[in-house]
Amino acid sequence: MSLSIRIIPCLDVTDGRVVKGVNFTNLVDAGDPVEMAALYERESADELTFLDISASSSDRETTLDIVRKTADQVFIPLTVGGGIRSVADVNQLLRAGADKISINTAAIARPELISEIADAFGSQVLVLSVDARRAKTESGFEVTTHGGRNGTGIDALGWIERACNLGVGEILLNSMDADGTRQGYDIEMIEAVRPITRVPLIASGGAGDLEDFARALDAGADALLAASVFHFGVHRIEEVKRYLSQAGYSIREVSNQ
Amino acid sequence: MIAILDYGSGNLRSAQRAFETTGAEVVLTSDRRTALEADGLVVPGVGAFRSCMNGLLAIGGDEIIRERFAKERPTLGICIGMQVLFSHGLEHSVDDVPSTDGVGVWDGTVSKLNAPILPHMGWNTVVAPKDSALFKGIESESFYFVHSYAAKEAVGQRVSWTEHGERFVSAVEDGAMSATQFHPEKSGSVGLTLIRNWTGTL
């Protein structure tokens, strides 16, 4: 009896459609985020993440509509990230049915946004998304923006410590070096971040083999986010959970009531 | 009719939809009369103990809850909405402000969990007593938690327990007053079962 590790599928959404490699055979429409969210809930996902990668702010209403429709029929926690710049943006998403929001670029541009959101809604709604890669900074890891294309010169560990002091409730640590490789989570990066924060740590980027999930947990992750391995059916969530359960990790079993 | 007390910002839509799956009519309200007369009142909770209490006080929610408790009208507190039912909360307490007064349905203090990782975030097992009405058929399932503070001493007639660093009260059933530290509206099918168990008693 203990807190279970969490498996979190991540859906990239733009213009109301799931993009970036979705290849499900058992869906009527593989691009519909609401349908995919419901499917992942049935497959025992512990949480869901939508990443809004829309280029223009006019798509905002479309995203809100998807969040509403998802919250209407999916009863597990939903995190929404992408393009969030203000307390008002957060309020809109929470009101639409999001449980948590993740911020990245806007917090780097204006760190006070972290404490503004935490003061208004509590730290528990706020996930700091950190896109980090190896670079010549103090810790050897640098924060990037724009999906890893732009370096900031900001040391990733220093940034995480500062953000935790400002009031984030969770860290989503996304390795830009490992992202999309399916060569495993960035174990060194997880091990470097784990000792400097007491908030839950979600590992992201690089999941491929079943062993990769276990290694990230051993390195100190509390939750595991993955996209393509689930979208392409490389692994089913239930398969990952069965493997981790047999390896001795605490997982949530879904009883179909 | 079920009323969900609306006294601040946050995600109330999921709660509304989850309670609607029982077939009941569900309204979000901050109106005193609607909240007093509803067959069941749900007290959700967002943010910290003090901000939650301030929100409740602003709409007279503390009086509504005490009146429903006195009249044995079914009421369900969720997360911080459970914590504020206690007499004291230590969240954000400092030397000059030792604690925040809660609604005081139960005597007890809500204090920080002694655990290496906080918030306690995710799915954890709830061990409920065998005669529980709330957990009928789901006596040892996992539910979704997000919190750093909790009550640690038993109150009321039936108490359910969960562990994170230490043992804490994850649900209370006390006559018409019920409360869960976890989010049933975010706990998938078992959460919906708990909600149906509660609405079935109304």
Tens digits of residue pLDDT in B72-82: 999 999 999 99
**Average confidence (pLDDT) over A242-253:** 96
Mean pLDDT, to the nearest integer, of A168-188?
94
Q: Catalytic residue among B91, B141, B173, B185, which?
A: B185
Q: What is the mean pLDDT of chain A?
A: 91
Output Rg (C-alpha) for chain B, integer angstroms. 15
Active-site residue identified among B120, B147, B164, B183: B183
Nearest to A75 among B118, B121, B192 (CB): B192
Catalytic site residue from A32, A59, A89, A131: A131
Q: In this structure, are residues A97 and B14 in contact, taking their beta carbons and an 8 Å threshold?
A: yes
pLDDT for A94 equals: 93
**Reduced to 3 DSSP states, what percent helix, strand and coil does chain B have, rounded to the nearest 5?**
25, 35, 40
DSSP string, B39-108: SEEEE---S-HHHHHHHHHHTTHHHHHHHHHHTT--EEEETHHHHTTEEEE-TT-BTTB--EE---SEEE
User: Chain-wide mean pLDDT for chain B?
Assistant: 95
Note whether A164 and A190 are within 8 A (CB).
Answer: no
B141 in active site: no
pLDDT digit string, tens, across residues B1-37: 999 999 986 789 899 999 999 999 999 999 999 999 9
Q: What is the pLDDT of residues A114-130, one digit of tens each?
A: 999 998 888 999 999 99
The H or E element that residue B159 is part of is strand B158-164
Closest Cβ opposite residue B13 in set A46, A97, A199: A97
Cα A76 to Cα A47, A99, A195, B18, distances in angstroms? 6, 9, 29, 11
> Could you give the percent of chain B with pLDDT greater than 90?
88
Evaluate if residue A155 carries a pLDDT over 70.
Answer: yes
Distance CA A91, CA A97 (A): 10
pLDDT of residue B127: 96
The fraction of chain A above a pLDDT of 90, given in percent, is 75
User: Is A124 close to B147, i.e. CB distance below 8 A?
Assistant: yes
Residue B10: list chain A partners with CB under 8 A.
94-95, 121, 125
Could you read off the pLDDT of A86-111 as tens digits, one per residue? 999 999 999 999 999 999 999 999 99
Domain B2-199 falls in which CATH fold? Rossmann fold (3.40.50)
Q: What is the pLDDT of residue A161?
A: 98
All structural domains of chain A: 6-246 (3.20.20.70)
With CA atoms as reference, report the closest residue to A192 among A184, A183, A201. A201
Give ipTM to 2 decimals.
0.94
- CA-nearest residue to A3 within chain B is B124
| A1, A2, A3: best to mutate for the B interface, most B CBs within 10 A | A3
Phi/psi region, residue B59 (left: phi>0; alpha: psi -120 to 50; beta: rest), is: alpha
> By mean pLDDT, which of A18-32, A198-212, B96-110, B149-163 is the weakest?
A18-32
